Amino acid sequence: TAAAAPPDGHSMLMGTIGNMALIPNTMETYKIEPLRDLIPVIQITETPDILVAHPSLPVSTFEALIEYVKANPGKIRYSPIDPYSIHRIEFEEIIRVTGAEMIWNQEILGSGGAMEALASGEIELTMSTAPYTLPLVQKGVVKPMIVSATKRLSQLPEIPTLQEVGIDARGSWMGIFVPSGTPEPAVNRLFEAFQTAANLPENRQQIQALGMWVHTSESPAAFRDFVKSETERLAEAAKRAGIYVR
């Protein structure tokens, strides 16, 4: 694993909100503690998550969706991709805040499996990152209901965020980590290199085309503080959802 790799400035890991801030809280058998075993170097992206619906659902807005779910309790099926995913937290927050009752199909795992199940009508709702969901939205295979992010997605400017409707969900993110013990000069060099590369116009455009946007940290220390705050925030969200928190 990256945590066990030599701390020589050449071993790196692209970490996500899931494996760096959520799963360490909720999976008893998870073998690393990111802020002990790794050094956060720099956040690279914010990655919106999109709640998408089967086209047969007779709704076009999030508010109408919640009304429909409440009018049909126990009939709307969904997949949060994985029991330890950020999308489960997002669904649990939606259910908690709105009081909408849905059926979690626990047999469907993975973004690919959830998208296939949604397209076939096996479920009516799922949520995943924009690189998975946006192409299907653009092809008309699924309908976007709402975005989990700190701002609206440029490709879907008419679709609001969960924060706009009073639900504290902020989407996903990715960043670079190195093994604990990596010398500070090496960490700083990597920070500067990734900050420069991520902000090149052509790279920003490619990342935006996937439905994400570049968001680089001000410093390795700032990224560490961010990961710590996200870990604490998601621990509280997991507790509210009744998910094991170690």
Query: Token pair of 11, please?
Result: 């071993």
Q: Point out the least confidently predicted range of 103-112, 121-130, 160-169.
A: 103-112
Mean pLDDT of 112-139: 93
| Measured distance CA(94)–CA(89) in Å, rounded | 9
| Measured distance CA(232)–CA(130) in Å, rounded | 25
pLDDT at 243 (0 to 100)? 83
**What's the distance, Cα to Cα, between the start and end of the chain in Å?**
22
pLDDT in tens, 56-74: 999 999 999 999 999 998 8
| Measured distance CA(74)–CA(102) in Å, rounded | 5
Please give the angle made by the CA atoms of 214, 130 and 80, to the nearest 5 degrees.
Answer: 125
Q: What is the DSSP string of 70-137?
A: HHSTTT-EEE-SSTTSHHHHHHHHHHHHH----EE-TT--SHHHHHHHHHHTS-SEEEEEHHHHHHHH
Residue 180 phi/psi, 5-degree rounding, is: -55, 140
Write the CB contacts of 151 (distance below 8 Å, at least 6 apart in sequence): 161
Write the CB contacts of 51 (distance below 8 Å, at least 6 apart in sequence): 62, 90, 94, 125, 126, 127, 144, 145, 146, 147, 148
pLDDT in tens, 3-38: 788 898 889 999 999 999 999 888 888 888 999 999
Residue 104 phi/psi, 5-degree rounding, is: -85, 115
Identify the three-state secondary structure at position 180: coil
Cβ burial of 141 (10 Å; 0-12, 13-18, 19+) is middle
With a cut of 80, say whether residue 124 has pLDDT above it.
yes
pLDDT > 70: percent of the chain: 98
Question: Angle formed by the axes of helices 201-209 and 184-198, to 10°?
Answer: 70
pTM for the predicted model, two decimal places: 0.93
With a cut of 90, say whether residue 241 has pLDDT above it.
no
pLDDT at 246 (0 to 100)? 65
